[in-house]
Chain A
Amino acid sequence: MRQVARCWPRVLLGALMTLSPLTLGGPAMGQGGPAARGMHGATPFEQQLAMLDAFGLDKRPLQQAPRGVDAVVWAASIPADNALTPERVALGRRLFFEPRLSADGTVACATCHDVTKGFTDHRPVSEGIKDQLGRRNAPTALNAAMLTSQFLDGRSPTLENQARLPIINPIEMGMPDEASAVKALAGDAEYQRLFQRAYGRAVNFDDIARAIAAFERTLMLLESPFDRYLAGEKNAISAEAEKGWVLYNGKARCQTCHPFNLSNPLGSDGRFHNVGVSARHQKFEELATKALELLEKDASIHALDRLALETDMSELGRFMVTRNPTDIGGFRTLQIRNIGVTPPYMHDGSMQTLWDVMDHYNKGGEPNPYLDGGMEPLALSEEEINQVVAFLFTLTDARYAEENQRQMERQQEIARKKRPFRDEAMAFGRRLAFEPVKKEPRP
C-alpha cells in the first residue's frame, strides 16, 4: 500500500515542481495554471476557496447550532475562551489556507484537508514538506468540531490543541518551533489587524490555533439525503439504501460504534477500537516494548506526534497515548458522515473502496491478540454488502453530491475488479479465525 502511495503523487508533482511554491500556495496569489493541481497534489487554493464560498457556510448565524445538531450539546463543545465570532472565523479561514505556516511555504492545512476532496487528500497517507510521507490517512476536517478527541489516536483533546501540532511536526508543515510560526505572520500588517480584531492581541501561537479551530467549527456539513429521509422524506434514499440502514442497525453491527443521533450526528462513538487493520503488517509486541522504552524518556505530546507520524509505532495507535495494552492497535472510530467522498479508508488509508471496508468487517476483522472483542463475523451476503454501501453513500452532504456520485461509480468499478479483503469462509463461519486457510472454490 505504502509503495503505491509513494509512486503516484510524484507523477503529479513532477509537472508542478516547475512552478514556484509561493505562486501556488496563497489564496491571494492566483494563477493556478492549467495543471489544476497545487503543491503536494492539493487542488489550487483559489479553486478550493471558490467551492467553499459556494457552500454558503458564512450565511449561517454563528450563534445557532448547525442544522442537525442538538443546541445544548453544540454549545457545550465550544470552549469558553473561543466563542465563535465572524472575525475569528475569517481569520481562521485565512490561516487554514496559509502556506507561510510551513517551513518551506508549500503546505497549509488545506493541502491535506482539501475542500474539493471532502477536506481530505484522497491519498493513503499524507505528504508534508520535502515530499515526506506520514503514516496515517488524513481524516476529514468536516464536522471535526463534534469529535470528542482529535487525531486518530486521540492524542489531542480539542481542535485548538490539534491545530498546533502539524505546524511544528517535521514531516508535515515543519516549522522548527511555535515562535517561528508566529514570526512568519507577525510582520504582515493585514494579520496584525486581523488578530487585533479577532482576539484583541498581537499575533501569537495560541490564537493561531484558536482561529483555525473557530473556522473549523463552521465546517459542519450534515445535510445529506439520509437526513432528509430521517425527516420523513421517504424517497430521499433508494430502497436498497433503506435496507442498508436496517442492516446498519442490526446484523451488520455498525450502529454501536458508529451511532447516529441529534446529540452526536457524526456516527462515531469517540472510542478507540482495534479492528485489526494494523494487525496485517505489524509485530505488536516488539513495537510496544520499544515504544515503552522511548516514552519512558519523553512522553510529551510532541514526542507522541512524531512517533505517530514517522515510525512503525504509529500502528500501535491509542496505546501510545495510554500505554494500556488493551489499546494496542486501537484507533478512534472514524465519523461516517461524508464517507463517500473521503476515500481511501481506515487509519492507514489501506482500503480503496467501501466494499473493501465491508469485506473487512464481514469477516470479523484481522485476527490479532488485541482485536476488539466486539468484532465478530457478520455473515453478510453480497446483496447485503451492496445495501450497506448504498446506505453509506447517502450520508454525503448535498454540497458534495456530484463528487459523491463520481466516487460511487469509481469505487464500484474498482470493486468489480478486485476485492482484496473478501473472505467468505470466515464471514460465514465456515472457517474460524484460528484455523488455517484452506483453498475454497469461489462461487
Chain B
Amino acid sequence: MKRKDIETKYHEERQALFDGLRRLDRRGFMKVAGAATGAVLGRSLVHPMSFVPISVASAATGGKVERFRFAYISDSHLYEKKLNERFVRSLLRAVDDVNKMDPQPDFVLYGGDLAQLGQPGELKLGAEILKSLKAPVRMMVGEHDWYLDMGEKWRELFGEPSYSFDHKGVHFVVLNSVIEEDFWTARKMTPLERMQTVAGLDNALQNRFMVGAPQREWLKKDLSRHAPSTPVIVFSHSPLYKYYRPWNFWTDDAEEVQALLRRFDKAVVIHGHTHQLLTHRIGNIHFHGMLSTAWPWPYAPEGLPELTVQMNRADPFNPQDGCGDGSVELHPDGLVDKVYGLWNRNPVTITRGYMTSRGRTDRPDAPSLSSY
C-alpha cells in the first residue's frame, strides 16, 4: 500500500504541472512540454502508456474535433478472488497502469467479459476494482457477463448495455454485440449450463453473436442525427466483422451494422473478445482489437485480417505475457492511433497513417518479448 501512496503523490505532482501547462498558450505549452519530457517521446521505446507525460492536451482545435485520448481495459474474466487471484491481480495491474497515465485519459472503456461465469460475486468484485480508476469508466458487456442471468446483474450494476454519447466532437456508440439465438431452451439447459456453454470459446453448441434487428434499428436512428463528417467510434465486444466463426470471432449481422456506418467519412470500431493484436479495415471502417488482462487467445487457423501485426505466442510461465491494456488517441482528423500496452513486450502503436495507407507506411515492429 506504500506503493499507492507514492503513486498518488506522484500523480499530484504531475497534475500540478499540467494545471500549470493549461494556463499557457500553445506556443508556451509546446515549450514547457518539451522541457518536461525531453525529446524522449520521439523514441519508439518509450511506452505510450507510461508515466511519461505526453502532450495530448488540446492545443489547437481547428475544427470541432479536439485531440484527446481514452484508455481501455478489457476481458478480465474474473472468478471470485478466493478461487483465482491471478486474474484479479492482472486487472489491478491494468487499473494501476491507467491511473498512472499522465495526463489522465478522458475516460476508460471497459471492453466486456469482466466476469468469467457471470456470477454476481464476480461482477461485483470487478465493479469494486474498477471504482478505483481515477478517470470515468464507460462499460461494455461481454458474453461472459451476460448468459447466467441474461444480463440482470450486469444491468443492475452498470445500466443498459447499449448507449451512445458525444465527446469532444466525436460520436461514440456502445453496443451489445453478444446476442445469441436461443440454443438452451430446447436442450433444457440450466442457466449455469447455458453460461458454461457460451464461456467455452470452442464450444459449438452455442450460436453465433449478433447485434440483432432491434438494436440495429436503434443504432440506425441514433446515427441518423449525425452528419457524415462526424467521426463515429463504435465499441462492440465481438469484432464487427467475420474473422473465424467457430470461436465467435464473428458477428453474424456484421454486414448490416457496417452498412449503417458506411455513410460516415471516418468510422472506427474498437472491440474486445479476441484477446490479441488484431487490425482490420473495410472501406471507411477501421477495426482495432483490445488486449485481455487475463490471457491471450491464439490466432484463429484462418481468416486473420491482413493488416494485423501479429504477436508471437505467449510464454505460459508468465501468465501476463500477451496480456495488457492500452489507449486510443483521437486526432482532429477523426482518426485514431491505437496503442497495445503489452505487459511483457514492447508496446505497439497502430497509427492512423498505417491504417489509411493500408499498411504501406508506419508499420510498427512486431511485439517481441522484452528482457532478452
Query: What's the nearest-Cβ distance from chain A to residue B302, in Å?
Result: 30
Q: B89 near A: Cβ within 8 Å?
A: yes
Query: What's the nearest-Cβ distance from chain B to residue A289, in Å?
Result: 6
With A283-B6, A296-B40 known to touch, is A372 a contact of B45 (CB < 8 Å)?
Answer: no
Which residues in window 415-443 of A have CB below 8 A to B?
429, 432-434, 436-437
Give the B interface residue count (CB, 8 A): 40
Q: A391 near B: Cβ within 8 Å?
A: no
Q: Considering the chains assembled together, what is the distance between the CA atoms of A279 and B4 in angstroms?
A: 13
Partner of B321, one of A253, A272, A279, A373: A373
With A376-B86, A432-B88, A432-B89 known to touch, is A289 a contact of B52 (CB < 8 Å)?
Answer: yes
Which residues in window 39-77 of B have CB below 8 A to A?
39-40, 43, 45-47, 50-52
Q: B149 near A: Cβ within 8 Å?
A: no
Partner of B319, one of A323, A376, A436: A376
Q: A263 near B: Cβ within 8 Å?
A: no
Q: Are B344 and A436 in contact (CB under 8 A)?
A: no
Give the A interface residue count (CB, 8 A): 36
Query: What's the nearest-Cβ distance from chain A to residue B67, in Å?
Result: 23
Q: A204 near B: Cβ within 8 Å?
A: no
Partner of B317, one of A326, A367, A374, A434: A374
Within 8 Å CB of B1, what residues of A?
Answer: 436-437
Within 8 Å CB of B345, what residues of A?
Answer: 326
Q: Are B3 and A429 in contact (CB under 8 A)?
A: no
Q: Are B370 and A324 in contact (CB under 8 A)?
A: yes
Within 8 Å CB of A434, what residues of B?
Answer: 88-89, 92
* 0 or 1 for each of B216-248: is its CB under 8 Å from A? (1 = yes): 000000000000000000000000000000000
Q: Are A288 and B371 in contact (CB under 8 A)?
A: no
Q: Are B93 and A369 in contact (CB under 8 A)?
A: yes
Q: Considering the chains assembled together, what is the distance between the CA atoms of A324 and B44 in angstroms?
A: 9
Q: B100 near A: Cβ within 8 Å?
A: yes
Query: What's the nearest-Cβ distance from chain A to residue B243, in Å?
Result: 27
Q: Are A326 and B3 in contact (CB under 8 A)?
A: no
Q: B318 near A: Cβ within 8 Å?
A: yes
Q: Are A326 and B321 in contact (CB under 8 A)?
A: no
Q: A256 near B: Cβ within 8 Å?
A: yes
Which residues in window 335-352 of B have CB below 8 A to A?
342-346
Q: Considering the chains assembled together, what is the distance between the CA atoms of A323 and B40 in angstroms?
A: 10
Query: What's the nearest-Cβ distance from chain A to residue B342, in Å?
Result: 8
Q: Are A293 and B3 in contact (CB under 8 A)?
A: no
Q: A292 near B: Cβ within 8 Å?
A: yes
Partner of A326, one of B6, B51, B92, B344: B344
Q: Are B371 and A271 in contact (CB under 8 A)?
A: yes
Which residues in window 272-299 of A have CB below 8 A to B?
272-273, 279, 283, 285-286, 288-289, 292-293, 296
Kindly report which residue of chain B lies nearest to residue A374, judged by CB atoms.
Answer: B318
Q: A315 near B: Cβ within 8 Å?
A: no
Q: B81 near A: Cβ within 8 Å?
A: yes
Q: Are B10 and A286 in contact (CB under 8 A)?
A: yes
Q: B177 near A: Cβ within 8 Å?
A: no
Q: Are A273 and B317 in contact (CB under 8 A)?
A: no
Q: Considering the chains assembled together, what is the distance between the CA atoms of A164 and B363 in angstroms?
A: 39
Which residues in window 342-372 of B have CB below 8 A to A?
342-346, 370-372
Main SS class of interface, B:
loop
Partner of A432, one of B81, B318, B346: B81
Within 8 Å CB of B3, what residues of A?
Answer: 279, 367-369
Q: Are A272 and B38 in contact (CB under 8 A)?
A: no
Within 8 Å CB of B317, what residues of A?
Answer: 253, 256, 374
Q: Are B10 and A369 in contact (CB under 8 A)?
A: no
* 0 or 1 for each of A193-213: is its CB under 8 Å from B? (1 = yes): 000000000000000000000
Q: A322 near B: Cβ within 8 Å?
A: yes
Within 8 Å CB of A292, what residues of B?
Answer: 38, 40, 46, 52
Q: B12 near A: Cβ within 8 Å?
A: no
Q: Are A293 and B40 in contact (CB under 8 A)?
A: yes
* 0 or 1 for each of A217-251: is its CB under 8 Å from B? (1 = yes): 00000000000000000000000000000000000
Q: Are A373 and B320 in contact (CB under 8 A)?
A: yes
Q: Are B344 and A369 in contact (CB under 8 A)?
A: no
With A326-B371, A373-B320, A374-B317 known to touch, is A288 a contact of B38 (CB < 8 Å)?
Answer: no
Q: Considering the chains assembled together, what is the distance between the CA atoms of A293 and B89 in angstroms?
A: 32
Q: Are B343 and A326 in contact (CB under 8 A)?
A: yes
Within 8 Å CB of B7, what residues of A?
Answer: 285
Partner of B47, one of A273, A293, A325, A429: A325
Kindly report which residue of chain A lies nearest to residue B322, judged by CB atoms.
Answer: A373
Query: What's the nearest-Cβ distance from chain A to residue B5, in Å?
Result: 10
Q: Considering the chains assembled together, what is the distance between the CA atoms of A155 and B147 in angstroms?
A: 52
Partner of B371, one of A286, A327, A369, A436: A327
Q: Are B372 and A271 in contact (CB under 8 A)?
A: yes
Kindly report which residue of chain B lies nearest to residue A370, judged by CB atoms.
Answer: B343
Which residues in window 308-347 of B have CB below 8 A to A?
315, 317-321, 323, 342-346
Query: What's the nearest-Cβ distance from chain B to residue A272, in Å?
Result: 4
Closest 4 CB pairs of A and B: A373-B320, A373-B318, A272-B371, A374-B318
- 18 more contacts with CB within 8 A, not counting A289-B52, A376-B86, are A253-B317, A256-B317, A273-B371, A279-B3, A283-B10, A288-B50, A323-B43, A324-B346, A326-B47, A326-B371, A327-B370, A369-B100, A372-B344, A374-B315, A374-B317, A376-B319, A432-B85, A432-B88
List the interface of chain A (C-beta within 8 A of B): 253, 256, 270-273, 279, 283, 285-286, 288-289, 292-293, 296, 318, 322-327, 330, 367-369, 372-374, 376, 429, 432-434, 436-437
Query: What are 6 A-B contacts defined by CB distance under 8 Å?
Result: A279-B3, A288-B50, A322-B370, A325-B46, A368-B3, A372-B344
